[in-house]
Amino acid sequence: MIRRKEEMKLTSKNMRGGNGEIQMTHHLAPEELSHGRLFSTVTVEKGNSIGYHEHHNETEYYLILSGEGIVEEAEGDSTVKAGDLVITGNGQGHAIRNEKDDPLVFIALIVLDD
């Protein structure tokens, strides 16, 4: 199967109490993921963010494609850039924001834990 770009759903919304709107291109609908609930490309413009949230019985991965962002985790804030992978496991939380002029773009994948 091949899913064409024009078949993917684009949404813009305030995420988890963060600032501004986040654009998401959903590559698959949740019901199409056999062991997950999200597979999307996320774009965060300057000044926008996804608010702090926790994951339970799942792991979320952010693969940074371009731009630079600040990830908030229990250990503190960290800068991420293209090629970095953020892993937030069961019982952990995170937030991400963009303070730079260039958009922050990453793939978000949520996999359900067994």
Confidence tier at 6 by pLDDT (50, 70, 90): confident
Mean pLDDT, all residues of the chain: 94
What whole-number percentage of the chain has pLDDT above 70? Answer: 100
> In this predicted model, which residue has the larger pLDDT, 29 or 67?
67
Cross-sheet strand order for the sheet of 104-112: 9-13, 22-26, 36-44, 104-112, 58-66, 85-88
39-74 pLDDT per residue, tens: 999 999 999 999 999 999 999 999 999 999 999 999
The reported pLDDT for the residue numbered 30 is 83
Distance of CA 104 to the CA centre of its chain: 10
The reported pLDDT for the residue numbered 13 is 81
Q: Element (H or E) spanning 94, and its range?
A: strand 93-97
For residues 36 and 28, give the distance between their C-alpha atoms in angstroms, rounded to a whole number: 10
Name the residue with tokens 């949520």.
Answer: 110
- For the segment(s) 8-112, the CATH number from 2.60.130.10, 2.40.100.10, 2.60.120.10, 3.30.70.3270 is 2.60.120.10
For residues 83 and 91, give the distance between their C-alpha atoms in angstroms, rounded to a whole number: 25
- Where in the chain are the domains? 8-112
For the residues 79-108, what does the mean pLDDT come to? 98
